[in-house]
Amino acid sequence: MTYFPGIDSIVYEGPESDNPLAFRFYDRNRLIAGKPLSEHFKFACAYWHTFCNSGGDPFGAGTRSFPWSSDGDAISNGKSKMDAAFEFMSKLGLDYFCFHDYDLIDEGATLVESEHRLMAMTDHARDLMHSTGIKVLWGTANLFSHPRYMNGAATNPDFQVVSRAAAQVKLALDATMRLDGENYVFWGGREGYMSLLNTDMKRELAHLATFLHKAKDYARNQGFQGTFFIEPKPCEPSKHQYDYDAATVIGFLQEYGLDKDFKLNIEVNHATLSGHTFQHELQVASNAGMLGSIDANRGDNQNGWDTDQFPNNLYEITEAMLVLLRSGGLQGGGVNFDAKVRRNSTDPVDLFHAHVGGMDLFARGLIAADRVLQSSPLEAMRSERYASFDAGKGAAFERGELSLSELHAHAISFGEPAQRSGHQELYENILNRQL
Ligand code: XUL
Ligand code: CO
């Protein structure tokens, strides 16, 4: 059975190709900084957007009909969706996918039934993974859609809901481990509050930390060696989400002793919603040695919500790839297209166009960033700005050896520092020239 007839395997044809279903930049074996592009990115498909989202929005129904059957029971529906998913990923050359537990199959009426369903789906996935070579970048639990989580999951004021969420995470971890998932994600969509008036924030944060510790301990005891990622986002659906941005999450992980096992999954549109750039969030994570993974997408400059559009901004992605190359790559994760085609993009081929564009964009950005680092003066100019710390008193300051009084004495002997331009426009031009 073919779900995407008329679409062949998508291959690299080079920048001159006029075939819309070909890569112009993503040559998976091309070496950049000593590593093939496919390894830099570990591109992943987001199961939820691509195979579950029929295009509904708060104002209207779904617009897309899927080419697989949904007339059978939950397990047979889940299997045909999964067969289509693997055909899609194979044709695109996507090496990985990411999933929520109930993307794979509808939640059952009870936890026991859900576990049974997840076992059936992971059996099926194992077969397909074996025959295609496609792997799991990360799994996660959907702790935000069901009404029981309306007041939060791990941070719910009711212990019974917290424990119900923990049970669900156990099943999602089991499913991820059965599929040899390389990582596991926590995105806390409802871990936050709608009003501080009814919220004990300190207590909720402590509950969240305990919850994460117990999940981590369980998985480690089962032999899971992957990384746990927290995915920051400032709001939506909560008015305020506790995992607001990278800096907030890093502080939380350090405060509660989770920083050895957890790293960050940085999403473009979440970064911009929190008032930062994507590259800023990557840099903050990288500074802490916690740049784990990326959720690729983009927002809309005129909208203040999470539009999850496919990425297409070369300048933004090239700046991001500079951060990535400087920090030696992602720690354990990859680039997951947490993005959806627009509601009026209703043909199956639109899903292919979207991913081809995203993969090509990241490849192009990485190649350009590598050129900036290797054959432009940018790195040397940036280092030169800090040259006064490389020797003498500046180096002593960096080592923490100068007291405030010694700094005072130095300033008096040196006199007024000369003005030194930051040359921002020149840096911008250098980057632009490599695009
Ligand atoms: C929501 C979001 C999620 C997470 C996984 O904004 O990004 O899809 O990536 O739960
Ligand atoms: Co995401």
pLDDT in tens, 142-200: 999 999 999 999 999 999 999 999 999 999 999 999 999 999 999 999 999 999 999 99
pLDDT at 69: 86
CA separation, residue 133 to residues 9, 30, 94, 144, 162 (Å): 15, 20, 10, 31, 36
CA of 30 to the centre of ligand 1 (A): 30
CA–CA distance, 272 with 233 (Å, rounded to integer): 9
Would you put residue 45 in left (φ > 0), alpha (ψ -120 to 50) or beta?
beta
- How many other C-beta atoms can be found within 10 angstroms of the C-beta atom of residue 189? 20
8 Å CB contact between 97 and 45: yes
Q: How confident is the model at residue 212 (pLDDT cuts 50, 70, 90)?
A: very high
pLDDT in tens, 59-83: 999 999 999 988 999 999 999 999 9
- Is pLDDT at 290 greater than 90 in this prediction? yes
pLDDT at 369: 98
Q: Which residues make beta-bridge pairs with 31?
A: 36
- Residues labelled catalytic: 100, 103
Residue whose CA lies nearest to ligand 1 atom number 5: 187
Q: How confident is the model at residue 123 (pLDDT cuts 50, 70, 90)?
A: very high
Tell me what percent of the residues of the chain surpass a pLDDT of 70.
Answer: 100
| Interval 223-237 mean pLDDT | 98
Q: Is 338 in the pocket of ligand 1 (CB under 6 A)?
A: yes
Alpha helices in 332-376 (DSSP H): 348-375
Q: How confident is the model at residue 257 (pLDDT cuts 50, 70, 90)?
A: very high
8 Å CB contact between 310 and 298: yes
Quote the longest CA-to-CA distance of the chain: 83
Burial group, residue 86, by CB count within 10 angstroms (0-12, 13-18, 19+): buried
8 Å CB contact between 192 and 238: yes
Q: Is 140 in the pocket of ligand 1 (CB under 6 A)?
A: yes
| Interval 431-435 mean pLDDT | 96
- How many other C-beta atoms can be found within 10 angstroms of the C-beta atom of residue 303? 11
CA–CA distance, 290 with 288 (Å, rounded to integer): 5
Tell me what percent of the residues of the chain surpass a pLDDT of 90.
Answer: 99
| Interval 224-239 mean pLDDT | 98
Single-letter residue type at 335? V
CA–CA distance, 229 with 117 (Å, rounded to integer): 25
- Is pLDDT at 336 greater than 90 in this prediction? yes
Read off the pTM: 0.97
Pocket test for ligand 1, best of 267, 298, 310 (most atoms within 8 A of CB): 267
- The tokens describing 424, both together, are 């921002």
Tallying the residues shown for the chain, one arrives at: 435
- Is pLDDT at 432 greater than 90 in this prediction? yes
- Residue among 97, 62, 93 nearest 82 (CA): 97
